[in-house]
């Protein structure tokens, strides 16, 4: 379909990323075009204890396990994302 529409990304390998962004990935796209979503914040466990810090909610998905920057004896997953703006 992309080739039929003459899109320059038609021959890129399959990806879970946003193919229409071209070179790079969505993280760099967001940093360039929507820097307000790249705000770090606390990573909390389900009991509300801070166990780390994230680089910005836009960089994580519900169910994500890898790339969280956490070390724990058991696997850790993103179970919720919550934005609480600072005033």
Looking at the fold, whether 45 and 76 belong to one and the same domain comes out as: yes
User: In total, how many domains does the chain have?
Assistant: 2
The answer to whether residue 29 is domain-embedded is yes
Burial (0-12, 13-18, 19+ Cβ within 10 Å), 28:
exposed
Model pLDDT, residue 5: 87
Q: CB of 16 within 8 A of CB of 9?
A: no
Q: What is the pLDDT of residue 17?
A: 58
* Residues 34 and 60 placed together within one structural domain of the fold: no
For the segment 15-44, what is each residue's pLDDT rounded down to a tens digit?
565 666 666 777 888 888 888 888 889 999
pLDDT averaged over every residue in the chain? 84
- Three-state SS at 41: strand
Backbone angles phi, psi at 72, to 5 degrees: -150, 155
What is the tens place of the pLDDT at every residue in 39-80? 889 999 999 999 999 998 888 999 999 999 999 999 999 999
* Domain limits for position 45: 40-82
Q: What are phi and psi of 51, to 5 degrees?
A: -120, 0
């Amino acid at each position: 379909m992309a080739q039929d529409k003459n899109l320059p990304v038609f021959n890129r390998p399959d990806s879970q990323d946003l193919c229409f962004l071209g070179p790079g990935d969505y993280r760099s796209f967001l940093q360039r075009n929507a820097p307000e979503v790249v705000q770090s914040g606390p990573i909390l466990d389900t009991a509300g204890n801070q166990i780390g810090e994230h680089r910005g909610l836009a960089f994580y998905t519900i169910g994500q396990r890898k790339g969280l920057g956490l070390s724990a004896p058991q696997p850790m997953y993103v179970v919720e994302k919550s934005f609480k703006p600072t005033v």
